[in-house]
Amino acid sequence: MHIAIVTQTARLVRATDLMFKGARMGDRAAANKGMQDHLKCMDDMYNIMSDMWTESNPKNYLDFRTYIMGIQGNDDIFPGGVLYKGVSDKKLEFRGESGAQDSIIPSLDSAFGLEYPRNALTEYLFQLRKYRPLNHQNHVDNLKKQFNDTKFKEFALKDSYSAFLMLCNIHASFKFRH
């Protein structure tokens, strides 16, 4: 499921590029097209994820899920970590599930200026960022910078349809997480 979702991310990159280019140039049609494309991609990703529930047996899911959780803190299953042959001579431990280490939702958050209160959960999610490739970390940071540099929120709120598209994309983040 996760791999199928990730195959769609190039579309998100193109959409945010268009969105910010439109805002920089004062081209509302381009910015709106970028937000429309971003929203369509998020909807497609959500639908891919939803297939998991139609193709899976929900009652057995938690039995399987145990094995895709993070290694760190799962000493009953992974005592002392996991030995990755050819990578390290000692056992390693990582936190979190693959989705929590992914860059899709943090990218959406940065592109649309979402900020979260600092608490145990958000601190944990920020810690997982160190597992991402450096180019992913830079991409997430760059989106936040572009959001701020283009004053994207202010740009979007000057037009009712742009504001609507921005809110729809923010809701896509909520829907995907939920």
Is the pLDDT reported for residue 98 higher than 90?
A: no
82 forms beta bridges with 92
The model's confidence at residue 26, banded by pLDDT at 50, 70 and 90, is very high
Model pTM greater than 0.85? no
Residues contacting residue 174 through CB under 8 Å, at least 6 positions apart: none
State mean pLDDT over 124-130.
Answer: 77
For the chain, the structural domain boundaries read 2-177
Is the pLDDT reported for residue 130 higher than 80?
A: no
The model's confidence at residue 69, banded by pLDDT at 50, 70 and 90, is low
Specify the long-range contacts of residues 29-32, CB closer than 8 Å, at least 24 apart. 31/155, 31/156, 31/162, 32/161, 32/162, 32/165
State mean pLDDT over 121-130.
Answer: 78
d(CA 41, CA 57): 27
pLDDT at 96: 65
State mean pLDDT over 97-109.
Answer: 78
Cβ atoms of 173 and 115 closer than 8 Å: no
pLDDT at 105: 87
- Which amino acid is residue 150, in one-letter code? T
pLDDT at 67: 53
Q: Which CATH class is domain 2-177?
A: mainly alpha
pLDDT at 83: 86
State mean pLDDT over 15-29.
Answer: 98
Let me know the angle formed at the C-alpha of 155 by 151 and 160, rounded to the nearest 5 degrees. 150
